[in-house]
Structure 1
Amino acid sequence: MPAARPLIRPFHPSDLPALYRICLLTGDAGSDATALYRDEDLLGHVYLGPYPTADPTLTFVVVDELGPAGYIVATADTAGFEHWLERAWWPPLRARYPLREDPHDGTEDHVLVARIHDSSGGDPALFDRFPAHMHIDLLPRVQGQGLGRRLVETLATALRARGVPGLYLGVDSRNEGAIAFYDRIGFVEAARHEWGRTLTLDLA
């Protein structure tokens, strides 16, 4: 009997451990970041967990016969989300993860801990036209099946229903496949940075 095709469904709280794992397995510019972090939850705490916690209706999950295999997370209001992070998300994590020095052993935990303690937000100049932002990750086993495009389309539909005019994302310059994907589905480069690029999508 052939395997069922992957499907996209709304987030359920029971998905969260699997989504944290996906975040880690795709966290090095799309590749497995397990070797970079002693604490395997840190990437998820920064780039995944707050989104379904703050607004679970803007998280969608790819599921196949093995379970969750990808996701898209977003906020419709980046400015408001950043205020929520400072009030509700970062304080417990700052208490849990004191600032630390680089151990010079190739691990990157200290980089994410510094991000938790000094979280520079998005570019306010984008917020009027592109108030939403998103993160998307797919495990290799479900890549190349059009699911990334479908996830973005699903999110875009949900954002348009709220009257959101546009969204943006950041992408590591090393992740050339992701940059090409975003270009194909209509994202436009808004800025280049030392770490990568900011891309925008008009939803009007």
Structure 2
Amino acid sequence: MAFTIRPYAPADLLELYRICLLTGDSGADASHLYKDPDLLGHFYAAPYAVHEPDLTFVLTDQAGVCGYVLGCRDSEAFAAWMEAEWLPPLRQRYPLPPEGDTSKDAAMIRLIHKGYMPSSLTREYPAHLHIDLLPRAQGQGQGRKLMEVFLNRLRELGVPGVHLGVGRRNVGAVAFYERMGFVCLQTFPWGYEYGLKL
């Protein structure tokens, strides 16, 4: 199967939402977990493509977009932009759910209201990223190629380091990041934060 990596185009935005959902359960399909299929993408995919399209790359095959890597060069600046521009309309659209609502939708809506909180690693590792591939694109070296495109772009921009978070259950992703040279810097109940000096 022939794969191509290319820069993001605005017409790809719906595909980013789709892939974010289809990989949103620690790399597995999360579509059965959410009533609103856009909630994950509102927080973990779309804002990056809108704010920093030059740091968004998509993987395609004959069937269309099958993966992406995206992120930001400065997590503090990204957080400020999220708070000023991206999140206020979403907070109006999604009111805070009742305290007793323990659904996945409610958890994401609460995260939208809480806002994006930059990692404590941002001084040395100011950039951060998300990478997701559909199953048909996995296990063929495409994740590494996507990551290399993204990291080389950060190097061109003079960014000194990049970090990312990964859930404990996503053992395949943990192994992938370690193969890419990322080092585990912080451990949390939900998972780990990894960093890479550029």
Shorter chain as denominator, the TM-score bin is over 0.9
Residue type of the partner of 1:113? I
- Counterpart position of 2:71: 74
After TM superposition, the runs of 4+ consecutive aligned structure 1 residues lying more than 4 A away are: none
Q: Distance in 2 between matches of 1:195 and 1:141?
A: 27
Q: Distance in 1 between matches of 2:195 and 2:90?
A: 30
- Counterpart position of 2:59: 62
- Counterpart position of 1:187: 182
Q: Which of 85, 91, 95 is the matching residue for 2:88? A: 91
1:116-127 superposed matches below 5 A: 116-123=112-119, 125-127=120-122
Q: Which runs of 5+ in 2 are unaligned?
A: none
Q: Distance in 2 between matches of 1:195 and 1:189?
A: 14
- Counterpart position of 2:46: 49
- Counterpart position of 1:115: 111
Q: Which of 115, 133, 136 is the matching residue for 2:131? A: 136
Q: 1:183: how far off?
A: 0.6
- Per-residue deviation, residues 135-188 of structure 1 (Å, max 9, x unmatched): 000000010111111111101110011100110000010000100111111000
- Counterpart position of 2:192: 197
Structure 1 residue 170 and structure 2 residue 165: aligned?
yes
Normalising to structure 2: TM-score of the pair?
Answer: 0.97
Structure 1 residue 152 and structure 2 residue 147: aligned?
yes
Q: Which runs of 5+ in 1 are unaligned?
A: none
Q: CA RMSD in A?
A: 1.0
Between the aligned residues of both structures, percent identity stands at 50
SS at the partner of 1:128?
coil
SS at the partner of 1:19?
helix
- Per-residue deviation, residues 47-95 of structure 1 (Å, max 9, x unmatched): 0010010010000000000000000011000000000000000000000
Residue type of the partner of 1:97? Y
Q: 1:194: how far off?
A: 1.2
Q: 1:120: how far off?
A: 4.6
Query: Does the 8 Å contact 2:47/2:82 carry over to 1?
Result: yes
Distance 1:120 1:16, change over 3 A: closer
Q: Which of 10, 13, 22 is the matching residue for 1:13? A: 10
SS at the partner of 2:32?
helix
Residue type of the partner of 1:85? M
Bigger CA drift: 19-28 or 94-103?
94-103
Say how many residue pairs are matched.
197
Query: Does the 8 Å contact 2:79/2:116 carry over to 1?
Result: no
Q: Distance in 2 between matches of 1:190 and 1:122?
A: 15
